[in-house]
Amino acid sequence: MTSFTFPKDFLWGASSSSYQIEGALDVDGRGPCVWDTFAAAGKIQDGSTAAIACDHFNRWPEDVALMKQAGFNAYRFSLAWPRIIPAGSGAINAKGLDFYDRLVDGILEAGIRPMACLYHWDLPQPLEDAGGWQGREIVGPFAEFARVAAQRLGDRVKDWMMLNEPNVVAIFGYGLGDHAPGHHLGEMGMLKALHHQNLAQGAALRALAAEHSDFTLGTVINLQPCRAESDKPEDIAAAARWDAVWNRVPLDGVMRGQIPALLAEQMKDIVKPGDEEAIRFPIDLLGLNYYSRMTMKYETSHPFDVTWGDAHCERWTGMAWPVQPDGLYDLLAEFKRDYGNPAVFIAENGAAYEDVVEADGQIHDVERVAFLKDHLQAVGRAVQDGCNVKGYLCWSLLDNFEWAFGLSKRFGIVRVDYDTLTRTPKDSYRYFSEVVKSGQV
Ligand code: IFM
């Protein structure tokens, strides 16, 4: 592709999440969350915790300055539910809200558009103890949390995303047990957690719409095009099944108010009358997270009789995820074709690699630069072909706490030295900043 110039009003920036960067888990009245419990149970692979993480709670002015210096005009961050409502429902913690108040003011002063995400996985532990995403009782508290956050920040934050990657929460947190809260509930556990997040999201969207008429409302889903590993009918069926679970339950829930036909029988006792209407909402902006495709095959030892991998790919990230920029183009083109081309933005895209700090203290992360370039070109091609893409936010500004992998996987375009908490921009930061400032890839 020859060089492409993005529209002038394109959103450029990064995404982050509270638990992965803030630290300060015991400060100012924050309550416990499921990831605190999961870490305390020794489930983090490198034995680390998020107790300090990037210490963004204290160092956010430096992080906002790095974003400003890079030329960003947008930043998506998440609000820690247990910081704002420590028990998940009930008493509001004014000091928790004060933190986000300061942060939002700082982001706005830097000329950056704050995009708040309500739920990026730090579920208050008392809510999990009451059933978490397995029960419908969580819908009310989530909508109340949305209302509380909007009442305090809604005069300045106009972009509100509800959930981040509900499929990961449901599948890894409740189905397979790799993520907090660590349940192994299999297929039904996954489907319940998916549906109840859809319901909570619908209620929160309505609560926010009632608060302010000038909000841009949306949510964030990580879509992964699913293709069959072979032309065997069982692999083709496995790909269709997993597409229904991973992509369509969250996507068709909010966009169409539909339960995928392939899952209707299994979900018939989970979905109550009126639910389909309750999960549908005419959102203004959909965040799409993209990391790779999924190549599926039939495998009876796994839930839904599926497994994924990609034996044929030649490029891999440090997460052992295949590098497939064409998948991002395909995703955007298919979304345009199948959903009527509503506004979307890339809410996450990036890669972890084994970074090396050179003798001069610099990080020449050539693989991450190539990853970003290839994916930005894919987005450019999609925009050129008429896809309604409003922005690109990389994952992530900082190296951070990568969930069950702890501090061992580095996704940042800025390195964080976890001993000194020093931030060092990598080559990828400079590369991305050039793209942002020129608007060209
Ligand atoms: O770090 C995560 C983020 O929290 C959600 N999306 C994928 C990222 C990389 O695994």
5 found inside a domain:
no
Other CB atoms within a 10 A radius of the CB of residue 256 amount to 14
Q: What is the pLDDT of residues 20-61, one digit of tens each?
A: 999 999 999 999 999 999 999 999 999 999 999 999 999 999
Question: What is the per-residue pLDDT for 1?
Answer: 66
As a residue count, the chain comes to 441
Note the pTM of the prediction, 2 decimals: 0.98
Tell me which residue has tokens 């394109």. 10
10 Å CB burial of residue 114 (0-12, 13-18, 19+) is buried
Which uninterrupted H or E stretch holds 441? Answer: none
127 found inside a domain:
yes
Question: What is the per-residue pLDDT for 310?
Answer: 77
Say which CATH number the domain at 380 has.
Answer: 3.20.20.80
Tell me which residue has tokens 């979900």. 267
- Residue 217 structural domain: 11-438
116 found inside a domain:
yes
Q: What is the pLDDT of residues 247-268, one digit of tens each?
A: 999 999 999 999 999 999 999 9
Q: What is the pLDDT of residues 97-116, one digit of tens each?
A: 999 999 999 999 999 999 99
Average pLDDT for the chain = 98
Treating both helix axes as pointing N-terminal to C-terminal, what angle do 56-70 and 427-438 enclose, rounded to 10 degrees? 50
User: Is residue 57 within 6 Å of ligand 1 at its C-beta?
Assistant: no
Q: What are the φ/ψ torsions at residue 110 (nearest 5 degrees)?
A: -80, 5
Nearest CA to ligand 1 atom 4: 17
Question: What is the per-residue pLDDT for 2?
Answer: 82
Instruction: For residue 138, give both structure tokens.
Output: 């969580």
371 found inside a domain:
yes
Which uninterrupted H or E stretch holds 293? Answer: none
Number of separate domains in the chain: 1
Atom of ligand 1 nearest to the CA of 403: 1
Nearest to 310 by CA among 248, 229, 422: 229
Atom of ligand 1 nearest to the CA of 15: 3
DSSP code per residue over 361-412: S----HHHHHHHHHHHHHHHHHHHTT--EEEEEES-SB----GGGGGG----
Question: What is the per-residue pLDDT for 309?
Answer: 84
Atom of ligand 1 nearest to the CA of 222: 6
User: Is residue 395 within 6 Å of ligand 1 at its C-beta?
Assistant: yes
With cut-offs at 50, 70 and 90, classify the pLDDT of residue 235: very high
User: Is residue 289 within 6 Å of ligand 1 at its C-beta?
Assistant: yes
281 found inside a domain:
yes
Q: What is the pLDDT of residues 279-335, one digit of tens each?
A: 999 999 999 999 999 999 999 999 999 999 877 788 999 999 999 999 999 999 999
Interacting residues of 294 by C-beta distance below 8 A, sequence separation 6+: 224, 225, 226, 227, 239, 242, 246, 308
276 found inside a domain:
yes
6 found inside a domain:
no
2 found inside a domain:
no
With cut-offs at 50, 70 and 90, classify the pLDDT of residue 135: very high
In one-letter notation, the amino acid at residue 395 is: W
